[in-house]
Amino acid sequence: MSHLMENQFSIKNKNIVITGAAGILGKKLSQSLLNSGAHLALIDKDEKTLNKLKKDLKIAEDNFFEIYVTDLTKEKEVNKTIKSLSKKFNSIDVLINNAASKGNSIKDFLLPFEDYKLSTWNSIIEGNLTSMFLMSKGIGKIMKNQNYGSIIQIASIYGVTTPKNDVYEGSFYNGYKISTPAVYSVSKSGVIALTKYLASYWGKYNIRVNTISPGGIFSGQNENFVKNYSKKVPLGKMASGNDIVGTSIFLSSDASSYITGQNLIVDGGFTL
């Protein structure tokens, strides 16, 4: 690869904010972006897992990261964190809105639609969509003032298609029958719509906003589910966190400088 191409795809010395940094995908993103030379602000509401991530991450001498324990559904906490990280980082090049929620109870999250609780519905909307509104609002102000930036929002294929019910037959997660509730699809569709709105709204400030919609990522589902799901995928397998990293680096780099408002589907062909 020529030096010109290497520079286009480089994220070395870019200041990148990652929400949901201590989650399954967040951990992969954090280590991979550090390996690529980025400086990171890592945000998660789970202090214990965030501190463990801090211990586990391996860094080179010329890059660094900071951690921020924040409930992204609380506007005051979000504003406080953004104020703190803006003092630490002289610019914000990229925001990766990766945080998501299954609410306070996996049992309630997986309830049938007819029995779904309003409190759970509201909690999922707050965790999956309101959090992105608050972070985009705050970081967007910084990017607007500096006249550039890239915002990457992690959604899901279930923001553009419906769950295949036969995939879930005989499948369990942590002892509960697996399903994808309506609120999950609704919240992820909202992420895609927010991306399009912000891409148009902030385009004149050289702020790009794009969505990545992953297919199912393996996270401990039982063998039956993995088998059923993989049958629906032309590439014959579920995704791993690493499969999303390359797309994230691309959208963080100058190689994607003319791409905005798009939903990049990374699903092994599931939605074909």
Give the whole-angstrom CA distance, residue 173 versus residue 176.
5
pTM: 0.95
For each of the domains in the chain, give its residue range(s) and CATH number, in order of start: 3-264 (3.40.50.720)
Q: pLDDT 10s per residue in the chain (272 long)?
A: 565 566 899 999 999 999 999 999 999 999 999 999 999 999 999 999 999 999 999 876 677 899 999 999 999 999 999 999 999 999 999 999 999 999 889 999 999 999 999 999 999 999 999 999 999 999 999 999 999 999 999 999 999 999 988 888 887 777 778 889 999 999 999 999 999 999 999 999 999 999 999 999 998 788 888 999 999 999 999 999 999 999 999 999 999 999 999 999 999 999 99
DSSP 114: G
pLDDT of residue 100: 96
Q: Which runs of consecutive H residues, i.e. helices, occur in the chain?
A: 3-9, 24-35, 47-56, 75-88, 106-109, 118-125, 131-146, 182-202, 223-231, 242-252
Cα dihedral 119, 157, 106, 70 in deg (nearest 10):
-70
Closest residue by Cα to residue 268 from 231, 246, 239, 247: 239
